[in-house]
Amino acid sequence: MQIMGSLLIINGHWLLAALLFLLVNMSESSPFEGENLPYMTSDVNEVAGMSFDYIVVGGGTAGCPLAATLSHKFSVLLIERGGSPFGNPLIWNKMYYGFALLQTDELASVAQSFTSRDGIPNHRGRVLGGSSAINGAFYSRASSNFVERVGWDEELVKEAYEWVESKIVFKPELTIWQSVVELGLLEAGFLPYNGFSWEHIEGTKIGGTTYDEFGVRHTSADLLAESNPENIKVLLNATVQSIIFHANSTGNETIARGVRFIKSDNSTDQFYEAYLNQPENSTSWGDVILSAGALGSPQILLLSGIGPEKHLKNFSIPLVLDLKGVGKEMQDNPAIALLADTRPEYRLPDTPQVAGIDKDFKFIVEGGILPISLNATRMPIAIKLAFPESKGKLKLNSVDPRQNPSVQFNYLAKQTDLNDCAEMAQLLQRVSRSESITLFLKTEPQNNLISRPHELRDFCKSNVRTYYHYHGGCTVGSVVDSDYKVYGVKGLRVIDGSTLLESPGTNPMGTLLMLGRYQGIKILRDRDNTLKQP
């Protein structure tokens, strides 16, 4: 059936091929479904009232490797608001890359759309595997400078990256279009040529991909196969409403004791609870760990009564801790794009595999082919600003955790960002006008492109978009400490992209996968050291 679908697409009958494929294959398993995966359920009653050493909220890019690692020695509950990615061709089959972003209904789709208060459409993952199940699959490590600035252990970072890469990351075979983009970047001056590399380095490079040689996507959910199945339960289609707290006998210490959750399908508003184990030795208590992403983790803290007191009062949420950094320092990397080909001809979707990195890692260019409907695609070449100065904030829209919070990124609000964007526009024009790209597309180079500074800045303001690399809201030093523990609360951590002060590379997926593994190992080591102390 897949071969037939490909033949039909080649002959132009895309819509028929897509419909046939979906009808026949929606119920089929992906090639690796069920292989050593832990027990998963959507029945909240199988989990309600139970106790675990660790509760990880969010089975996304960081949450899955974190839960898998912790399960080697402790009992773990992983709660994911979405369903399983396995068996869904819109996720695992590369032929349908990007189509998951076209289906974003209110509660059931694997991608959830939201529009920031800036007016920019955006997406977040709502499926086990999180955004690693719907993104461009481009894999890159963070730069060594980034690792040094964050203060991570370099050897453990390397070990964690290699663990991820050995499981779900592959070296791509460049498509024709990606080879053309590669040449266009070199012509535009993105030098040196680095070939294939895991590293985030200046010049033009081929990055890793989470699609294997058969065109099968591997998400962070696949890393759950590395867990101890006896020690982990995965609850799907359940949304955490809030964290359960307990004050100690003196009332001067707030302690996380569990979580309160509801069904994601809106079928009932009934609450369920799961708890942390409470052994006699307080030093052996585990944690509730939020890994719900840059929107989800600050939202849960706010709903739990942790955040700016004035904002919580607006929703009649009882104050647990007046922590003003929650929801602050939200950032997204502003991007602009030019269409390499505006003709209506259909081309197969194509993931970014090559990146051009320039100006001390400040500018990053990629090109792909994205579906915009069931029978039309576009070929954008896009560039992002890696280190914007503009920052925004996140607030609650509702006390319903299934609804998106309100977020504003303030794209290009700082003059330095606007000036950098004008420079990005010039670079983007050089790439799109390169001889390699114009010859491949059989188009004539445009001579009426914008060049004056004010025109470039106006172009940026009118065409700013997202790379979907937003972060912040629970940043290190503001909401969590260097061990990712929430200030002022015992037994509560945040480990995901909400803790980042900047995007770490071409695509943060690799670093978030690493972060889950890295912090899982650190927690295990720290507990071992605590138990060894006299």
Catalytic residues: 469
| DSSP codes of every residue in 349-375 | -B---EEEEETTTTEEEEE-BEEEETT
**b/e per residue, 236-262, with b = 16+ CB within 10 A?**
bbbbbbbbbbeeeeeeeebbbbbbbbb
Q: Are 392 and 410 in contact (CB under 8 A)?
A: yes
Residue 32 CA to chain centroid, in angstroms?
A: 22
Cβ neighbours of residue 53 under 8 Å, at least 6 residues apart? 70, 74, 75, 76, 276, 277, 286
Query: What three-state secondary structure class fits 526?
Result: helix
Q: Are 277 and 53 in contact (CB under 8 A)?
A: yes
Distance CA 180, CA 209 (A): 18
Q: Are 47 and 233 in contact (CB under 8 A)?
A: yes
Distance CA 76, CA 233 (A): 6
Side-chain half-sphere CA neighbours of 236 within 13 A: 18
- Looking at residue 496, the DSSP 8-state letter turns out to be S
Length of the chain: 534
Q: Are 117 and 408 in contact (CB under 8 A)?
A: yes
266, containing H or E segment = none
532, containing H or E segment = helix 509-532
Reading the block at residue 284, the tokens are: 């052996």
- Looking at residue 120, the DSSP 8-state letter turns out to be -
β strands within 102-237, DSSP E: 111-115, 121-125, 138-139, 193-196, 203-206, 208-209, 232-235
Query: What three-state secondary structure class fits 24?
Result: helix
Distance CA 62, CA 210 (A): 15
Number of C-beta neighbours around residue 348 at 10 A: 16
Reading the block at residue 299, the tokens are: 């939202």
Distance CA 42, CA 110 (A): 15
Place of tokens 């189509």: 99
303, containing H or E segment = helix 293-303
- CA 80, 84, 513, 278 dihedral sign is positive
Reading the block at residue 467, the tokens are: 């790379």
Query: What three-state secondary structure class fits 192?
Result: coil
Nearest to 473 by CA among 394, 355, 356: 394
| DSSP codes of every residue in 22-45 | HHHHTTSPPTTTTSSPPPEE--GG
